[in-house]
Structure formats: C-alpha cells, structure tokens
Amino acid sequence: MTDPQSRLSAHDIAERLAGGQGLLPGGLLLGLDDMTIRVRSNSAELLENLQGYFSHIVIADTDTDTDTDTFIDLHAFECAAPDLSLDYVDWPREAGKTGRKDAFFDLADGRIVTKVRTGMVFLQSKDHRIAAGPCLENDNQVINFINAQYMNMLQQNGWSICHAAGLVRNGRALGLAGFSGGGKSTLMLHMLGNSDTAFLTNDRLFAKRSAASDDAAKVWAAGIPKLPRINPGTALNNPLLGDIVDAKRRRELASLSKAELWDIEEKYDVDIDQVYGTGRIIGRAPLCGFVILNWAHDSTAPTQITRVDLAQRRDLLAAVMKSPGPFYQRADGSMYESDAVLAAEPYLATFAGVPVYEVTGQVDFDRIAQQCEALFGDQGGLP
C-alpha cells in the first residue's frame, strides 16, 4: 500500500497551511539587487513589523522591474502552530551546536520545514513559499525565511555562501569571519563607529568571482538585509549600543563576569539606521580582503594579524564555509540534502588572489579594528 504522505504535493500543503484564511490586499514589496519579493499576510501587524525591519529596501509598485528582476510571492499566515502530522526528520546541527532546531519533510516538488521550539511551519517550493504559525511571536523566523529566498537566488547564480560579516569603505568590502563565538559581529559593529564605514552584512556574506574580463573588481561581495543580532556582552561594551538593553537588564548583566556573559543565550537586534544613521547599508561591493578571527579569550599572547594562503591553511577555511541549510532550493527545484558535504574547492577558486588575514593571540578589538582600517586603502594590505 502506498504511503499517503508520499503523494503529498506542495500545492496540497499550501492549501492546508492557508486553511481558508484570506490575505490582506496589496502587500509589502522588498527591492533587492536582481530580485523583488512581495510579502502578503493575513496580519496587518506582521506586515507593519516587517516594513519597519526592512525599511531600507521597501519599494513602491512603480519601482518594480519585472523584466530584469526575479519576482516571487511569499505568504505569511498568523495562526496557531500547524499540525500536519508528518514524519519529520531532524536537520543535523552544525559542529558545536546542540539541541533540536529544524526538522523537515521532503515532497516531490519541495520541502516542509518546522521549527521544533516554536512550531512554525514553512513550505519551500518553486511555486509556493509560505510561513504559517505564530508569526508575530516569531517574526525573526519569518524574516529569516524571507532572506532565505534572496540567498537561494544568489546561490543559484553562482555566489558562494560564507559565514562572515562584511563592511564597506571607499567602495571596497572587507569580510570578517571567525570560529564560533569569535567576535566577528562585535568587531564589525566596533568598526561601524567610523562614519565612513557602511554595513554590508552580519552573518551571511556571499562572494562571486566576476566573469567580465573588464571588471577590475575580480571578486564581489554581497550581503543580505538581516540586522546584526548581538549578545549582551557586545551591547554592554559598545557605548553606541547601550540603549538596546533596558536599564534593569543592563544592571543585572553588569554584575556578571565576562565568562558568564559569554554563555548567556540572549540576542538583540541592532537597527543600523537608528544607531549609526541612515544611508549606512550597502548591498554589494568589490571584495578587497578577508579577515579570519582565530584569537582566544584566554590567550596572553600579543594580538597579531598575518596574511595567509587559504590553500595552505584549510583549517581556517572551515570558519568561512557555510551550509546553505534546509531552505536551499536549486534552480531545478531539487532541495539541498541534509547529508551534503561542503566542498572546499569552490571557495578556494573564488578567493584566489583575495588577501586573507588570520588574527591570533589575545582578543583586542581596538587593535584589530585599527589594523583592518588599512585593508580598505587604495593600495590594500597592511603597512
């Protein structure tokens, strides 16, 4: 007897997730490089929240270029956590991460992903992109799902996904990577204190070697419209970010040791426009260098930054490579496999000729921020 679950299609699941709920007219249009996403929902409050979050890329209907952009619709239904009664499989966590997070069920023409802790359900297919569940309570997961559509488009067009932050100055992008808890976001926000520096991305940087022979940039970097999410220690140690944490919580956190702060599972969004001023977000720029933080909080060695060859230091490449994750759908409609193994060669080919630096020794954000300033110069490199 055929398993009824094996006959489910994306259209079947889309109807079940919608549950007869109507969508509000219009919707929120988000204009990205080479892509436009229209978000529709049954919740005006959710759309209002998303409009505030994505304010720097919200566009009007008249600004949509359907001839050149990829245009997709995404629906978000505010409702109780859906129970589809499917035989979900846990998506494997990355090294160093524990606990269940994502589970998935593959369809012939797409994938269903559920968030174990929140009950949110997402449908990813070529014809349907749906988020359903307590969206208002978990709007960050809806934001991530929206960004996943842009990340899919980039990867389908040959961009390599990197676990890195990015900044832009003098028209050049600098990537900042590091091993888990290495402080790349803290360093990035520290450097944003310079008014000549713009924000590119916080945790997902995309890199692509230019195919144009007359393109002097050689390698381009692209970011995604995802605001930095920081831990309490970062907020307390940066004067510009102090107001992100309310006064009562700041007093509680101030009494903790550095080690205790480091272990707290607590995140805060940093509104770049609000904290650093409008016009400080850039979507793409030529990549001038990459810095990999390999320092240690318990080290007493002097902080040093040294140029390295990634082909000879593949241990550092592990800090840069990033799995596309459960939402990645290839252009042919097939989904990224949960047991897929990342290959180093595409990354090495992309970064060939790009200056890469390793930071070692004790953690010193001021010192490394000063060193990184030189990487944006007209000549590039360190003095």
> For 207-251, what is each residue's pLDDT tens digit?
999 987 666 679 999 999 999 988 777 787 788 887 888 888 888
Distance separating alpha carbons of residues 59 and 72, to the nearest angstrom = 14
Range of the domain at 65: 4-156
Q: Are residues 174 and 289 in the same domain?
A: yes
* Whether residue 91 has pLDDT greater than 80: yes
In a domain, 206, yes or no: yes
Q: Of 110, 130, 156, which residue is a domain's last?
A: 156
Q: Of 156, 176, 192, which residue is a domain's last?
A: 156
Q: Which amino acid is at 64?
A: T
In a domain, 343, yes or no: yes
pLDDT given for residue 304 in this prediction: 94
Distance separating alpha carbons of residues 42 and 21, to the nearest angstrom = 7
In a domain, 316, yes or no: yes
Tokens of 112: 């269903």
CATH of residue 278: 3.40.50
CA 188-191-195 angle, to 5 degrees, is: 125
The percentage of the chain sitting over the pLDDT mark of 70, rounded to a whole number, equals 93
Q: Are residues 371 and 304 in the same domain?
A: yes
In a domain, 255, yes or no: no
Q: Are residues 169 and 112 in the same domain?
A: no
Q: Choose among 38, 16, 18: nearest CA to 85.
A: 16
Q: Are residues 103 and 206 in the same domain?
A: no
Q: Are residues 187 and 67 in the same domain?
A: no
Q: Are residues 205 and 343 in the same domain?
A: yes
Based on the structure, what is the number of domains in the chain? Answer: 2
- At residue 380 the predicted structure's pLDDT band, cuts being 50, 70 and 90, is low
Q: Are residues 281 and 349 in the same domain?
A: yes
pLDDT given for residue 6 in this prediction: 66
pLDDT given for residue 1 in this prediction: 44
Q: Choose among 87, 38, 43: nearest CA to 64.
A: 38
Q: Are residues 215 and 123 in the same domain?
A: no
Sign of CA dihedral 286, 288, 292, 298: negative
pLDDT given for residue 260 in this prediction: 75
**pTM of this structure:** 0.92
Distance separating alpha carbons of residues 7 and 5, to the nearest angstrom = 5
Q: Are residues 223 and 102 in the same domain?
A: no
Q: Of 156, 174, 199, which residue is a domain's last?
A: 156
In a domain, 76, yes or no: yes
pLDDT given for residue 68 in this prediction: 61
Read off the pLDDT of residues 273-285 as tens digits, 9 standing for 90 and up: 999 999 999 999 9
Whole-number average pLDDT of the chain: 90
In a domain, 151, yes or no: yes
